[in-house]
Structure 1
Amino acid sequence: MRETYNFKEKYKQFVIILLPILVTQLGLFAMNFLDTMMSGKLSPSDLAGVAIGSSLWVPINTGLSGILLAITPIVAQLIGAKQQAKVSFSVIQGLYLSVVISTVIILAGYLSLDFILDNLNLETSVRIIAKNYLVALSFGIFPLFAYTVLRCFIDALGLTRVSMFITLLSLPINFVFNYLFIFGAFGFPKLGGIGAGVASAITYWSIFIISMFIVHKKAPFNQFKIFQSIYNVSFAAWKEILKIGVPIGFAIFFETSIFAAVTILMSTFDTITIASHQAALNFASFLYMIPLSISMALTIVVGFEIGAGRYKDARHYSYMGIAFGVLLSLFSGFVILLLRPQIAGIYTNNPDVLLLTQQFLIYAIFFQLSDAIAAPIQGALRGYKDVNVTLIIALVSYWIIGLPLGYILGNYTSFGAFGYWIGLISGLAAGAICLSARLYFIQQKYKSLRLKAS
């Protein structure tokens, strides 16, 4: 990371940071994508079981690991302010906190999973697959959350290509173990959708071990001596992380959990509808990695500029990121429109699921534009360490506007299952509008601070 002086330099630095993040996010999501796709090739029940399991796991994972994303702006601002000596302490405290969060998730799952699944009115085969998929995956929760902290540290230095390298190494691991455990190849047990959970847990351990080795041994990370000092638990440091991270995590949770809630509410529909909905939603979520990556890149560059007191540069990066998001969303929407049959064919060979998935994909196109605006703005606001209002916006937009509207349209109109998607689109659009207003307010605030300083 370095100071930039014109649009060309900013564009170059932003792209250098963004592209590896994009590859990394696509790679990480590819694990869930592979789970869903490969399970769907076995049977609709396996696809539906993994769909339900993923719908429960993804919002918990993204929401609670989102708390640990606070490490990125904390480290980025320390680097921008040339306070490198404080970085190691912050990272280690993040690792301690990751262990606590992981423990809470596992205990909560042990106590509540059966109750949740018993109340979803699932077919017996789907329920068994969903439960055991999550049980198998839970063995990788500790390393996954610890990896999140290390990745935030790596990315905050602007060296996002290293995270990309780790993720690219993990993909063949995930694919191989999916193949072995889902289909029972080469004498391994044929576990179906449950095998996808086993493969994910193995992959989580792999990326954690690889990242720990790199941080400890390779330059420039080793100069921070992350693992060479033993620090006591600091509740003051935890408070700083939680003060920033909890609003980030819950904002992400409110956004991702609405999709899980819709999938759960749709469990009253038949297995074909659930499978089709999940296939389309999985692909739409895959494309969401584009604006999400822009969001993460903006957190790094905006945090760096704010830490250095260059408020005008932070504003310019924000505009650049939003423009990137809108242009790429238009392209991805065109891809969905043009290639719907081929996209649906990735997930299933069942003709009924194939046809219905194509219909759901039409609605997925409208997700793209709202996400392209909302996600980059969230990233920019995290760079400013402005996170509390984003939390409120997420709660209102998704749970007070989007979900109730979807429920009404889905159950009391002729839209049926598609009504839930219309509700989701409405919630995302409302969030994008409110976040735009918040970013404008924050930028005007910092503009005033810059004028007073001068």
Structure 2
Amino acid sequence: MRETKTIREKVQLLLVVMLPILITQLGLYAMNFFDTTMSGQAGAYDLAGVAIGSSLWLPVFTGLSGVLLAITPMISQSIGAGNREEVPFTVVQGLYVALVLSIVIIIFGGLALEPVLGLMSLEPEVHRIAYQYLIALGFGIIPLFMHTVLRCFIDSLGQTRVTMFITLLALPINIFFNYVLIFGKWGFPELGGVGAGIASTITYWCIFGVTVYFVSRVEPFSIYRIFKTFYGVSFAKWKELLILGLPIGFTIFFETSIFAAVTLLMSEFDTATIAAHQAAINFASFLYMIPLSIAFTLTIAVGYEVGAKRFYDAKQYSKMGIWIAVGMGVVAGLIIFVLREPVSGLYTNDPTVARLIQAFLIYSIFFQLSDAIATPIQGVLRGHKDVNIPFVMALVSFWLIGLPTGYALANYTAFGPFGYWIGLITGLAVCAAALLWRLRVVEERVKVELTQGK
């Protein structure tokens, strides 16, 4: 990152940082996207099994990754304040935390997976595929989370094109192993949806290995000597990271886990409905990478300006980022509306499942509009290190308003499974409105502090 003087310079810098993040996020999610779509071509059971496995994995992954995202504003503010010597110590402590979180989730997941799947009224084959898919993914948790820390370090320096390159390098690896392991090509075993989990794990290890190489050997990352100096465990730094990161992680977890909860509740419907629901969520989540990428960019830019005490510049970045997200949200909604039929064909050859996917996709348009407001604001607030109130807002919006509304509409009205989607839309809209209010409060507080000369 660097200081900018004019609006034009800010827009240019924002786009230079954001576009590689967007491509990176799309590339990372494309792995899940190809897992689901390629498994769907293997059969409805494979689609349902992988989709359910993905819906359970996604909130865990995004929630714990959210904890590690605290590294981004911590490093951005350190660099903005000129405290570069603090950076390698922060990164190493982040790696320690990532390792511990990985071990905890592997142990907990191993104990809880079977009981959780048992709560769902799944057909035996769907149950088997979902279970084995998640077990396969478990072997890639450690490299995935440690890569997340190193990626936050790389992105905090504004070198987002590097993470883009690494992701684009790994994507063909994921597609190749999906192809040979799902369909049993070129002498590999035909594993169906389970093969998608193995392919993802192989890809995670590749991404981590390449990232370590860049951080240790390529400038400007190598000058920080991340792996050259041994740092012992610092519980004080862990505390700082977790105080900032846990609210971020829980905020993301409450938003993403509600989709897993809906999947659990929708298990009372038939396999076609479950598969269609998950396919539509998968595609809508793919487009969600747009506002999410803008949020990551705003955390970097706003954090850098806040660290340098240039609060007016931070506010300018906030406004630009939010308006860009809203514009892209409208475009995403139009894409879904126009392409919903060919999109359904990516996931299934079954006409019944395809019709249901198209119906669910119409509802997902409203997701895009709410996310276009809420998600970038979350990124701005993280740049200010304001994370506790947004956490409470997410909890109330999704779990106390959205989910009960969806349950009531799905079980006591003619909406059926679509009622859950209306509940999700309601939760997202309430959260967007609350976060908009919170942003105004934070910016007013900063204005008062500037007036008082703090």
> Structure 2 length normalisation: TM-score?
0.99
1:123-202 → structure 2 map (5 Å cutoff): 123-202=123-202
Could you tell which deviates more after superposition, 341-350 or 305-314? 341-350
Shift of 1:140: 0.3
Matching residue's letter, 2:32: N
**What do the CA deviations read for 1:212-260 (whole angstroms, capped 9, x no partner)?**
0000000000000000001110000000000100000000000000011
3-state SS of 1:414 partner = coil
Structure 1, unaligned runs of 5 or more = none
Matching residue's letter, 2:193: G
**What do the CA deviations read for 1:302-353 (whole angstroms, capped 9, x no partner)?**
0000000000000110010110010001111111111111111111111111
Shift of 1:417: 0.5
**Following the alignment from structure 2 to structure 1, what is the Cα–Cα distance between the partners of residues 163 and 402?**
34
2:13 is aligned to 13
2:237 is aligned to 237
Give aligned-pair identity as a percent: 60
Matching residue's letter, 1:242: L
Matching residue's letter, 1:153: F
**Following the alignment from structure 1 to structure 2, what is the Cα–Cα distance between the partners of residues 316 and 65?**
28
**Following the alignment from structure 2 to structure 1, what is the Cα–Cα distance between the partners of residues 35 and 268?**
23
Shift of 1:107: 0.3
**What do the CA deviations read for 1:9-64 (whole angstroms, capped 9, x no partner)?**
00000000000000000000000000000000010100000011111110001001
1:293-304 → structure 2 map (5 Å cutoff): 293-304=293-304
Matching residue's letter, 1:133: Y
2:270 is aligned to 270
1:415-426 → structure 2 map (5 Å cutoff): 415-426=415-426
Matching residue's letter, 2:295: S
**Following the alignment from structure 1 to structure 2, what is the Cα–Cα distance between the partners of residues 424 and 413?**
16
Structure 2, unaligned runs of 5 or more = none
Matching residue's letter, 2:117: L
1:360 is aligned to 360
Matching residue's letter, 1:46: D
**Following the alignment from structure 1 to structure 2, what is the Cα–Cα distance between the partners of residues 407 and 161?**
43
**What do the CA deviations read for 1:172-207 (whole angstroms, capped 9, x no partner)?**
000000001100111101110000000000000000
Shift of 1:111: 1.0
**Following the alignment from structure 2 to structure 1, what is the Cα–Cα distance between the partners of residues 284 and 142?**
28
Matching residue's letter, 1:314: A
1:437 is aligned to 437
Equivalences, count: 454
1:28-177 → structure 2 map (5 Å cutoff): 28-177=28-177
Matching residue's letter, 1:32: N
**What do the CA deviations read for 1:57-84 (whole angstroms, capped 9, x no partner)?**
1000100111000000000000000110
**Following the alignment from structure 1 to structure 2, what is the Cα–Cα distance between the partners of residues 334 and 369?**
11
3-state SS of 1:453 partner = coil
3-state SS of 1:339 partner = helix
**What do the CA deviations read for 1:74-108 (whole angstroms, capped 9, x no partner)?**
00000000110110000000000000000000000
Shift of 1:451: 1.8
Shift of 1:373: 0.2
1:222 is aligned to 222
**Following the alignment from structure 1 to structure 2, what is the Cα–Cα distance between the partners of residues 117 and 259?**
15
**What do the CA deviations read for 1:134-167 (whole angstroms, capped 9, x no partner)?**
0011000000000000000000011111110010
1:451 is aligned to 451
Shift of 1:412: 1.0
Shift of 1:450: 1.5
Shift of 1:449: 1.3
2:385 is aligned to 385
**Following the alignment from structure 2 to structure 1, what is the Cα–Cα distance between the partners of residues 311 and 102?**
36
**Following the alignment from structure 2 to structure 1, what is the Cα–Cα distance between the partners of residues 408 and 257?**
18
**What do the CA deviations read for 1:382-419 (whole angstroms, capped 9, x no partner)?**
00000000100000000001011001111111000000
**Following the alignment from structure 1 to structure 2, what is the Cα–Cα distance between the partners of residues 97 and 352?**
46
**Following the alignment from structure 2 to structure 1, what is the Cα–Cα distance between the partners of residues 451 and 7?**
22
**What do the CA deviations read for 1:404-451 (whole angstroms, capped 9, x no partner)?**
100111111100000000000000000000000000000011111112
2:351 is aligned to 351
1:273-352 → structure 2 map (5 Å cutoff): 273-352=273-352
1:370 partnered with 2:370:
yes
Matching residue's letter, 2:66: G
**Following the alignment from structure 1 to structure 2, what is the Cα–Cα distance between the partners of residues 439 and 323?**
14
3-state SS of 1:186 partner = coil
**Following the alignment from structure 2 to structure 1, what is the Cα–Cα distance between the partners of residues 401 and 119?**
25
Shift of 1:278: 0.7
